[in-house]
Amino acid sequence: MNERPDPLSPDVLKADPFLHLAGKLVPGGHVLPVRVYYEDTDFSGIVYHANYLKFMERARSDHLRLIGVVQGELFGEALAEAPGFAFVVRSMELQFVRPARIDDVLEVHTSPIEVAGASITLAQKVKRGADLIVEAKVKVAFVAQGRARRIPDALRAAMKLALEQAPQP
């Protein structure tokens, strides 16, 4: 099994000092820290519910980035297996458990649950320390040229490795 370098190691940070902004890979997935700013809150000072979707989208994108998939490079012809690909959210289940407030530091945990032919199902949790704030189950489909396509083998292998490393319930 190939060991991935720790994205926060001094050698990696020298090569790309901003990589830590993408969070870090952990056994079974990814963790992204997020600070709650004034703009993230509603009139009552609590995080507006739709902003959790933004936090989770960032975490999914950064998870892909750290396993070697740079989405911005793949919208063109760079991927021979499926040129012009994108991931689209097919379904999402959310449970809002507790509120988060301005200046809270949250962590978005992302773990694959299932890697299927043209889709990946992920578990995402937004936490403040040990407190669960939001829990989500997200299914993303892989599409190219407007149609569902089989996930390329390299991405499938990377996601399956994370799935195998995920703690079992």
Instruction: Count other C-beta atoms under 10 Å from residue 47's C-beta.
Output: 24
Instruction: Count other C-beta atoms under 10 Å from residue 58's C-beta.
Output: 17
For the stretch 64-112, pLDDT in tens is: 888 877 666 655 544 455 566 788 999 999 999 999 999 999 999 999 9
- What pLDDT score was predicted for residue 159? 78
Place of tokens 């689209």: 88
Q: Give the three-state DSSP class for 124.
A: strand
What is the pTM for the complete model shown? 0.81
Round to whole Å and give the CA distance between 31 and 6.
Answer: 13
pLDDT confidence of 4, banded at 50, 70, 90?
A: very low
Round to whole Å and give the CA distance between 77 and 138.
Answer: 27
- CB-based contacts of 98, cutoff 8 Å, min separation 6: 128, 131, 132, 133
Domains of the chain: residue spans and CATH: 27-165 (3.10.129.10)
- CB-based contacts of 33, cutoff 8 Å, min separation 6: 23, 105, 106, 107
- The candidate with the shortest Cα–Cα distance to 83, out of 139, 143, 140, is 143
- What pLDDT score was predicted for residue 134? 98
For the stretch 119-160, pLDDT in tens is: 999 999 999 999 999 999 999 998 888 889 898 887 788 777
Round to whole Å and give the CA distance between 23 and 85.
Answer: 24
- What pLDDT score was predicted for residue 85? 76
Task: Point out the residues that are catalytic.
Answer: 42
